[in-house]
Amino acid sequence: MSLPDPALVVLVGASGSGKSTWAAAHYRAEEVASSDTLRGIVGSGPHDLDASTDAFALLESIVTARLGRRLTTVVDTLGFDPARRLGWLALARAAGLPGVVVVLETPDAECRRRNASRDRPVPASVLAGQLRRSREVAGELDGEGWDVVLRVAAEGAPPVPAVETARAAEHRTASTGVEVLLHVSRFPWGEEPMTWLRDIALAADEAGFAGLSLMDHLIQIPQVGRVWDPIPEPWVALGAIAAQGTSLRLGTLCTPVTFRPPGITAKAAATLSALTGGRAFLGIGAGWWEREHAAFGLPFPSAPERLDELEYSIRAMRALWAPGTKAYASDGVFLPETTCYPRPSAPVQVLVGGGGELRTLRIAAELGDACNLTTSDPAVLRHKVEVLRRHCADVGRDPSEVAVTVLDLPVVGRDRDDVWRRVEALRGRTAAATFAARTHAGTVAEHRDRHARLAALGVSQVFLSTPDLAGPEDVLALAGLTT
Ligand code: GDP
Ligand code: MG
């Protein structure tokens, strides 16, 4: 920036637009005539409005005296009064100095934010009036005969937009009849974990997915990757994703009940719900991988004990999410109080992971909002759904209250060539035909047909996880499955 010097420099902008800061950055303190500073000199402080008349009289004297000596003079007031502006310009002209006006074009929201964080904020209604007036003034200046009209955009950090946490979950059921959520189990994020997570979440939102789930394991599982591949703590990662302002429902698939005491999981899910305006869900299961428990010093009880724990945990979490703070004592769960704030902003969908017919599906029928099956084989699926329905009848639960969801692990390609290229790259030592059949390898169109068949079997949500998902472009390539 190169402004004429010496010159008259008149600042224009609402409170908090950064006039004094800009002046201090470009001029010596003695060159700046500030109405606030002068109020502080002749009154009790910069905000002493009773001192305004005296302060402005002084300001006029200072401007007149300095311009008369052909000294650079910066006028730091709101700058909204056209008669005053033209008076100063006339003084400059009389002294043979150029007249510069500097408009601080800081966004309204940023002015409000800065004003609110001041010790003595201008009342909100006053600031609103100033912001309106500053837009009018911007149009008046061009006709006033200034030598330079400089418009200054907000400097420094760009204003941080509010995260739209209150965005409601949208119902994004595809025309195939199922809602498709992206399940992320591998994290090839290189050196930029946060960038990668953000890009995946934004791509999932853009591609029309109804939600995003993260796998919950302490060590990357052999089915997905290598033990030294990164596998983040999912509630921390979901908190970061929650800050990206999407409409995605967010949760884990599935949290082993053995990892965290149920109250801590309830707390995490309730917090995520509060942060997202009610878009949190919780997949929970009995856990299965002994190694990660041993490695992290966690007990790994027998399967029947873990299933008992699953049942106990869901009851305890539901008690903690329920209104009120009363004690809870029922079915072997005893909590002396249920004080858990923040409460979830909307009911947290509980998906019970696993297809165990004797107990897991019974727990889903009795306590879950959904079961989550890891098969998308039609014959197996039909049978599991029958078992679930029978448990519902046994425990007196309306089967329409227990959704059938599946974890779907397909290979998806752009066309036939791309499908086979992927199968070849992924199959390892498994025969190509076997691997292709197991992963339903096919194009988006073929998977749409398959999803429609799943819907016909009663499946309402598909958690889609492709084995070669590396970045956001792979997510966007799946968009055809969500419409
Ligand atoms: P005035 O009321 O227009 O004189 O505004 P000030 O210059 O007093 O600035 C108001 C607040 O905004 C102060 O806390 C400044 O530190 C801050 N501020 C001013 N200009 C900038 C800027 O360019 N960037 C940032 N990040 N903050 C600024
Ligand atoms: Mg100021």
Nearest atom (ligand 1) to Cα of 23: 7
Q: For the packed helices 108-116 and 124-140, what is the interaxial angle rounded to 10 degrees?
A: 140
Could you tell me the distance, in angstroms and rounded to a whole number, from the CA of residue 54 to the centre of ligand 1? 26
pLDDT tens digits, 318-376: 999 999 999 999 888 999 999 999 999 999 999 999 999 999 999 999 999 999 999 88
Enumerate the β-bridge partners of residue 152: 104
At 91, phi and psi to the nearest 5?
-60, -45
- Residue 400, judged by CB atoms within 10 A of its CB (0-12, 13-18, 19+), counts as exposed
The span from the CA of 237 to the CA of 193, in Å, is 10
Residue 157 Cβ < 6 Å to ligand 1: yes
* Rounded distance between C-alpha atoms, residue 215 and residue 265, angstroms: 14
With b for 16 or more beta-carbon neighbours within 10 A and e for fewer, the 298-311 pattern comes to eebeeeeebbbbbb
Contacts of 35 (CB under 8 A, 6+ apart): 52, 55, 56, 59, 76, 77
Q: What is the pLDDT of residue 172?
A: 85
Cis peptide before 340 (omega within 30 of 0): no
> What is the spatial distance between Cα 395 and Cα 325, in angstroms, rounded to a whole number?
27
Q: What is the pLDDT of residue 171?
A: 72
In this structure, the strands spanning 349-353 and 280-285 are parallel
Domains of the chain: 8-153 (3.40.50.300), 163-481 (3.20.20.30)
Determine whether the shortest distance from the Cβ of 220 to ligand 1 is under 6 A: no
- The reply to whether ligand 1 has any atom less than 6 angstroms from the CB of 410 is no
**pLDDT score for 311:** 97
Task: Please give the model's pTM, rounded to 2 decimal places.
Answer: 0.68
User: Helix count (H) and strand count (E) of the chain?
Assistant: 17, 17
Residue 15 CA, closest ligand 1 atom number: 2
Q: Tell me if 50 CB under 6 Å of ligand 1.
A: no
Check if 21 has its Cβ closer than 6 Å to any atom of ligand 1: yes
- What residue owns the CA closest to ligand 1's atom 17? 18
Please tell me the chain's helix, strand, coil percentages from 3-state DSSP, rounded to the nearest 5: 45, 15, 40
The secondary structure of residue 467, as a DSSP letter, is: T
| CA–CA dist 35, 27 (Å, integer) | 16
Q: Is the CB–ligand 1 distance for residue 15 below 6 Å?
A: yes
Ligand 2 center from residue 397 Cα (angstroms) = 66
> Is the CB of 156 inside a 6 Å radius of any atom of ligand 1?
yes
Ligand 1 center from residue 21 Cα (angstroms): 5
- pLDDT at residue 367 in the model: 98
Of 386, 329, 334, the closest CA to residue 355 belongs to 386
Could you list the beta-strand ranges (E) of 409-456.
412-413, 442-443
CA 38 to ligand 2 centroid distance, Å = 11
Query: Would you state the pLDDT for residue 73?
Result: 98
Closest ligand to the CA of 105: 1
How many C-beta neighbours within 10 Å does residue 195 have? 12
Give the Å distance between the CA of 170 and the centre of ligand 1.
39
Helix axes 360-367, 378-395, angle to 10 degrees: 50
Q: How far is the CA of 275 from the centre of ligand 1 (A)?
A: 29
Instruction: Identify which ligand lies nearest to the alpha carbon of 37.
Output: 2
Q: What spacing in Å lies between the alpha carbon of 38 and ligand 1's midpoint?
A: 19
Nearest-atom number in ligand 1 for the CA of 13 is 3
How many angstroms is it from 16 CA to the middle of ligand 2?
7
Q: Report pLDDT digits (tens) over 11-28.
A: 999 999 999 999 999 999
Radius of gyration of the chain (CA): 32
What pLDDT does residue 153 have? Answer: 87
Q: H helices of 27-81, where?
A: 35-42, 52-68
Q: Which residues of the chain have pLDDT under 50?
A: none
Residues with CB under 5 A from ligand 2 (ion): 20
Q: What is the residue with the minimal CA distance to atom 27 of ligand 1?
A: 156
Pocket test for ligand 1, best of 12, 21, 80 (most atoms within 8 A of CB): 21
pLDDT value of position 346: 96
How far apart are the CA of 135 and the centre of ligand 1, in A? 19
User: How far does the centroid of ligand 2 lie from the alpha carbon of residue 138, in Å?
Assistant: 18
120 lines ligand 1 (CB under 6 A): no
Q: Whose CA is nearest to atom 21 of ligand 1?
A: 18
Is the C-beta atom of 114 inside 6 A of ligand 1?
yes
Please give the Cα distance from 68 to 303 (Å, whole number): 92
Rounded CA-CA distance 174/207 in Å is 12
pLDDT of residue 159: 52
Q: Which atom of ligand 1 is nearest to the CA of 155?
A: 23
What confidence score (pLDDT) does residue 291 get?
98
